Amino acid sequence: MKVRIKPELSLLKEWKNVVREVIRIVKTLYPSSEVYLAGGAAEGRLTVLSDIDVLVVFDELPSDRADVLAKLWEVLEARIPIYYPIQIHVLGRSELSRIKGKKVRLT
């Protein structure tokens, strides 16, 4: 069976819907966390080579970031193609200020 993959630009046109889905899942699994958009999407400068950077921020850094990401992707995989150009970063509040560039709080 041949699988068709949408070109990157087509995928990026759907980024707002994808981010809404990520927010919904993050808030379901981690209601006290905050979600931010960073990078090119936050700055309004997406290109065909861009990815979407989503920051999941906790007051206290979780002891295992990998566990948080694994739980998120376990749910997201059924809703977002594995090849979608998105990166999810798990941060503690104290790390947020170290992220360069514009950050837009979404929740």
- Cβ count within 10 A of residue 11: 20
Banded pLDDT at 59 (limits 50, 70, 90):
very high
Q: What is the pLDDT of residue 64?
A: 93
The reported pTM is 0.86
2-34 pLDDT, tens digit per residue, is 555 555 667 677 889 999 999 999 999 999 999
CA distances from 77 to 57, 69, 92 (A): 21, 12, 24
- Of residues 70 and 4, more confidence is placed in 70
